[in-house]
Structure 1
Amino acid sequence: MAMPAATTLLAWTRLLRAADLASQHCAASLRALGLPPPEWYDVLLAIERGGAQRPRDLQIALGTEQYALSRLVDRMVKARLLTRVPCADDARGHLLHLTIEGRAMRAAMWPVYAEAIETALGARVAEEDRTALARLLAPLAEPISA
């Protein structure tokens, strides 16, 4: 197997570093206002947009590990942002529903999340470069086929 080219390694390093810094900035912005972390927003938004979902479907949609999503959902249920309702099709399963508090929390988080996105990316990269970046990253946002 060939070693990656130097430019591939440089792009990889910068991609990971940029994602990490943007994520840290977003989490810090939310935390400063006493709001939950970005992962909570992602779950709330996915259920708000897609309706009640089984955890396995949410896991696939968010691209997260089952154990991490399970712990996250437990915390969100405890915070009364989500409820678990037994699945009519499968007595062993359940659906995750967004509560009124969950909808309100997602709405409260969005302005802070949006500002963090603008600060981390929008204000630092020209519009034409953001367009090119989105185009370049598109194939990397798809699952890797084995």
Structure 2
Amino acid sequence: MKMAAPVYAQVKITGALADKLRAEAAQRRLSLNALATEYTLLGLEAPGPEDDALAGVERRIVSTLLASRGDVDTLSASVDILAALVDTLAKMLLVHLPEPSGDEREAIGASALARYEKLLAQTANTGFDEKRPRAIQRIAELLLGRCPAPEADPGE
């Protein structure tokens, strides 16, 4: 089954209703988008004069929400990969760097700061492909090679 492309919509609510939405979102600790989505789904579930048309709209909105959930899962996986990468790097550095002797400590500190500044500049210049870190993209490719995607979604 081919998934439809996601649809994004903007809704502008002003006045007292906007204040009511902000207050309820803060009280329930939800984003304004999540609360507006919840109200939209509740409105679609309410019976109306054209139930068949509303059911079709509801299915399209629900499929859009499910597709957005996939994007959130992808972002969460990227954060997990980044945390694993930083953890591995920190362990490698701590294990392989010897403790400097007292008289060399200042020189090594200055050298480390210079190398750190060079690393930051290098990362800013070559570490990203558009807005995505290249390292995360490469790790994701390697993980996909190890764990191929299932042919069909078990939830369908």
TM-score bracket, shorter-length normalisation: under 0.3
**Whose RCO is larger (CA < 8 A, sep 6+)?**
1
Normalised TM-score (structure 2): 0.23
Q: Which has the larger radius of gyration?
A: 2
Normalised TM-score (structure 1): 0.25
1 or 2, which has the higher strand percentage?
1
